[in-house]
Structures are given as structure tokens and as C-alpha cells.
Amino acid sequence: MLNVLTTTPFGFVLELEQDGCFFTPQPYTLLVNGTPRLTGSDPVISLFGLRPDTEYRVEVRGLGEPAAAVIRTERCGFAIHIKDYNAAGDGIRNDTAAIHAAIYSAPPGSVVIFPRGEYLVEHIFLKSGVDLYLEEGAVVRQNPNRDALAIVKGYQKSYDYTDAVINASWEGNPLDCFCSLIYGKDVRQVRIYGNGVLNGGGMEGGWWNEPKKKNRAFRPRNISLVNCSDIAVCGLTSRNSAAWNIHPLYSNNLSFYGLTIQSDPHSPNTDGLNPESCENVQIVGCRFQVGDDCIAIKSGKLFLSRRHLRPSRGIAVRRCLMEEGHGGVVIGSEISCGVQNVLVENCLFRRTDRGFRIKTRRGRGSTSVVDGVRFSHVKMEQVSHCFVVNMFYHCDPDGHSDLVQCKDALPAGPETPAVQNITLSGICADGIAGSAVFLYGLPESPIRNVKIENSRFRFAEQRLLECPDMMDDPVLIPNLGIYARHVRGLTFKNNQMEGTHVDEIEREEKA
């Protein structure tokens, strides 16, 4: 069955609703008006290079009964070519001014077109109601020279210091950052689409030398969206970001369809897509191969939760491929505003250190509640640790302090987080070198109501002896299958544990 995710004047994005995790059961051929356009097995097809306001008959063959649909591209009011505004596209001359002239002279409803070429820029600032279309062969590359880049104030105070706005953040706090390749602040109804490439210049700018240190400001992203709504990013490739590839903050109604997100596997903090304090987010048919977490859902640290209490909620991830990141889908650790209602389904994880991961710690606050998370019909291949919840995660300057790492019960209070109502169903994991499930709650705030059902965990012959997550006094148990400590309400139903040298369950203080 063909599901039209979105249409634009120059193409559309389709979803093949097939059983399975990411790849279709066999390759298919896509025909447009009877002519073969591509062969593939990805579940989401980003088809661009079409004409506006034109009807196309689309057919998919090779997946049983042919699936067909008639789709009309949108009408285009103004198509604005950046080369008409003196953009060179030669990768040498700076095209920032020409691109901004095109964007900011465009009336609402316009599409700004990037034809084939390489565009060297400092930044591109978005404008409400104006779309960007990157044709195939278009590469937008950020200047890696810090001296050329603007700095965005993280916390901009008013003249009389009675008010402040947040323009940027770094790891959950409003801190100054070098401006991202694409930056949107307070923009509405913008689409960025096409088969082009965003190149953040991460490898060329010395960004990863002493990556934890602030050098005038923290590192830029490829796309930053701050207080935006009704934004769609479709079909693009994001690569070589200096830090997180895509970072929406305080934004709502976001769609990310058919993206390819790539970072050097050894590059620090180069996560794929990290929605922070966002609502109603769809991530569909995306490929991740990054140096850190593929998707990390966040909601800021304690300072922000006490000034701008905005949880992340309504996050849907489906038909995505996560490869070789630290985590496939991660919640945390900066989640002081809480995370609610997350659904991950029909995804494939390959060779990530962890599959699903929730990481938090004392000090995130009583509003830091993870509630209502469901993982359904997910396949894992050679994932070291499938499902981890760690409430002793050591991070930040005080991460090894007694407050964070004390394993005795401390009084629950305004800095105590909570994790509850988590369901895993239909998980199929092969080649597990570490643990299937590792749950470590706080004694004063146990993990509550975890259900694992209808799943199969198959272990590798060569097992890892390592703690499944980052904490002091690590848990080291040979042949660990499932470990649960400080958990209330763990249901393990109709599951299979396969492989040699597996101790099925290790329970401590589990009720």
C-alpha cells in the first residue's frame, strides 16, 4: 500500500506500508507514468525533479500485487533560483549574501531553488512561508572557519534584565553556540526538501579538538530549529556536522521524512536527530550512521525546566535504519522537563552499542518523568545491549559525585527523576554480545511498570563482560541476560532467550 507522506511543487515522499523492519521483503521498481525511475528496498521514497501542478501515475512493482496511486504535485507560486541572485555554486566564492537575498525577497508561498552545484556559506536563515528546494547534485557546505561564523547567544536578556529568550542550547543549557548551517528561529510553515546534501564541514574546522571545551562558543549543527512550528525536512542528506546533525528545540509539528544522516564514526557528539522539548514529531524512513546516538529525545536540564517547562511528547519513529551509533533510540540524559508518549516501530538497528536506552540521574528534577514509551516490532542485529534504563548515568561535572552515584536510598525531593510505563513488544534481536535487558532504578525512585512481551533475544557465542551502561561501581555479571534492580512491576511474558552461556534473569530487589 502506498501512503503519501507529503507533496511539494517539485516532488513527493511516499511510504510503502509493508510488514517488516525498514527494508521491504524484496526489491521493488518504482514507475512514474509507466517509466521505471528507481529500484530499491527502502520503505520511504523521496521522488523529486518533477513539475509543479502536474498529475503523475506512480506504481510500485515487485512486492506482490502492484500498488499504484495518482498524485498531483502542488502549484508553485514563485520559483526563485539562487543563481539569479548571483550565487556562484562553485564551492569557492561565498554565496551567503546571494542566498539570503533570494530568501528574504521571496513572498510567502515561494520556493527558493538550489540547482546543482556546491554552495559555500556561513549560515542560511529561514523565513516563514518560504521553502528551500535542493535539487539533486546541490551541496550546501558550511565555512569551517570559526572567524567567519556568527555566534548565537544562548540566553539573550532584555535591556532591563526582566526577561530573556533562548536562541541556542548546548547539552541542555542555554549556552552560546556558533550558528548552524541552517538556522530557524520563530519560523512557521517551512519545508526543506530535495535530494541535495548539507555538509557541515565538521572534519575541516578543527571542531573535534578538545570537543568538550568551549572555544568562544560551542559547536554548530547542520540544522537548528528554535521555537518553530510546522516544519518538514524531506529527502536530504545531512553529513559531516560539527555537532548534532539536526536539533529542533521548543518546536512543534515537525516531520522528518526519508533523510540520510551520516557522521564519521569516531566524531564526538555527532548525533543524528535530537528533538528537545518538542511536540508532535514524526521521523519516518530515515537512515542513520553517526558518531554518537542516532536519535536522542531530550528536554533540557534543571535550569530550563524551572523557567520553561516544556516536555518532549508525541514523538513517533517508524521504518528507520540505525547503524553503528552509540544508541539507536535514546531518551536523555538532559530530560528535566520530561518525555511523554514515544512510539518506535518497524525499525532496524545494526551494530549500535545499545538499542533502546533511557539515561537519567539525580539532579534532573521531579519534572523529569519519562512516561509512556513503546517499542514495537523492532529488529536488532549485533547490538551489544538491547534495552537499557540507567538512573545512575554519570555525566556533567558532578556526574561522579556522591549525590549522583550513591547506591543507597536518598530522600526523594525536587531533584529526583522518574521512569515509568515502558513497553517492548515484538522485538527480534540477533547476535547480542552483552545483555538483553538492563534496568537500574534509583532506590528512592524505582523504575515502574515495564512490560516485555512477545520478543526473542538470541545471544552471540562471544559475549562481552562489560557494564551495559555508564555508572560508577559498574555491574559486571558474566553471560548476563536480564538484570533488574530497583524495579516495581516488571512483566516478562511470552519471550524467548536463545544461545549458549545465558543466565536468563538476574533480579535484585525486584517486586
Q: Quick check: 368 pLDDT over 70?
A: yes
pTM: 0.97
Distance CA 470, CA 326 (A): 12
Per-residue b or e along 329-353, where b marks 16 or more CB atoms closer than 10 Å to that residue's CB: bbbbbbbbbbbbbbebbbbbbbbbb
Q: Quick check: 1 pLDDT over 90?
A: no
Give residue 506's pLDDT: 53
> Any alpha helices (H) in 136-243, and if so which ranges?
none
Options 326, 398, 430, 472, the catalytic residue: 326
CATH number for domain 2-72, candidates 3.40.710.10, 2.60.120.1030, 2.60.40.10, 1.10.3720.10: 2.60.40.10
Distance CA 283, CA 382 (A): 23
45-49, 62-66, 143-147, 198-202, range with the lowest pLDDT? 62-66
Confidence of residue 505 (pLDDT cuts 50, 70, 90): low
Task: List, in order, residues 6 or more apart from 227 with CB less than 8 Å away.
Answer: 166, 185, 186, 249, 250, 251
Give residue 507's pLDDT: 57
**In contact, 170 and 209? CB cutoff 8 Å:** no
Which residues face 343 on adjacent strands?
316, 374
Give residue 511's pLDDT: 39
High-pLDDT (> 90) share of the chain, %: 91
Mean pLDDT of 146-172: 96
Q: How far is CA 159 from the centre of its chain?
A: 36
The residue with cell 568538550 is 212
Mean pLDDT of 78-92: 99
- Condensed to tens digits (0 to 9), the pLDDT of residues 235-254 reads 999 999 999 999 999 999 99
Q: Quick check: 172 pLDDT over 60?
A: yes
Q: Quick check: 502 pLDDT over 70?
A: no
What DSSP string runs through 441-463? -BTTB-EEEEEEES-EEEE-SS-
153-162, 374-383, 471-480, range with the lowest pLDDT? 471-480
Options 292, 353, 371, 469, the catalytic residue: 292
Q: Quick check: 333 pLDDT over 80?
A: yes
CATH number for domain 77-292, candidates 2.30.30.90, 1.20.1250.20, 2.160.20.10, 1.25.40.10: 2.160.20.10
Mean pLDDT of 26-48: 97
- Class of 315-511 in CATH: mainly beta
Q: Quick check: 87 pLDDT over 60?
A: yes
Q: Residues in the chain, how many?
A: 511
Give residue 417's pLDDT: 98
Distance CA 320, CA 15 (A): 12
**Other beta carbons within 10 Å of 145:** 12
Tell me, letter by letter, the H, E, C secondary structure of 179-193: CCCEEEECCEEEEEE
Nearest to 391 by CA among 489, 294, 278, 485: 485
Give residue 510's pLDDT: 45
Mean pLDDT of 127-136: 99
**In contact, 287 and 261? CB cutoff 8 Å:** yes
| Annotated domain spans of the chain | 2-72, 77-292, 315-511
Give residue 445's pLDDT: 98
How do beta strands 2-8 and 11-16 pair? antiparallel
- Per CATH, 77-292 and 315-511 having the same topology is answered yes
Tell me, yes or no, if 292 is annotated catalytic: yes
- Condensed to tens digits (0 to 9), the pLDDT of residues 419-440 reads 999 999 999 999 999 999 999 9
Task: List, in order, residues 6 or more apart from 233 with CB less than 8 Å away.
Answer: 191, 192, 193, 223, 246, 255, 256, 257, 259
